[in-house]
Amino acid sequence: MNLSLISFGNTDIDTMVVKKFVKASGFTGFLDSVFIDTNNSFYQTHQDTTDVVIGISGAVLSSDYDYEILFPSTGIVVKITAIDESHPEGNCSGKTQCTDPINSYKINDSLVTRSDPFDNKISIWE
């Protein structure tokens, strides 16, 4: 999954730190962190939304972990937990990409239920 940042200014999101934690550890089981910027990821802006396709192998968000995302220029910290990903049975023969649906996740303890579970984005509002 990648990030979809809504209503953030360009300078607010030019640099981010993504910290990965053991799922459901209350952010005590720190595993790794990665620095995201325009040099290692693809930023695409449309209207008030910037989609960030993370270009670092192993840094793409997964339902197996919880995450903290720090925006250093603003000091904003966003916590992503409880990513609910279905794993339907079957195969993906004949398809370009195989994606399991993300049904919901929590942003700072607020539940977000997805209208399109296959869009492969975690939406974060400023």
Q: Mark residue 101 as left, alpha or beta (left: phi above 0; alpha: psi -120 to 50; beta: remaining).
A: beta
pLDDT in tens, 15-63: 999 999 999 999 999 999 999 998 888 899 999 999 998 877 666 788 8
pLDDT at 91: 61
pLDDT at 99: 60
What pTM did the predictor assign? 0.83
pLDDT in tens, 83-114: 987 755 556 555 445 566 788 999 999 999 87
Those residues whose C-beta lies under 8 Å from the C-beta of residue 104, and which sit 6 or more positions away, are: 82, 83, 84, 111, 112, 113, 114
Furthest C-alpha separation in the chain: 45
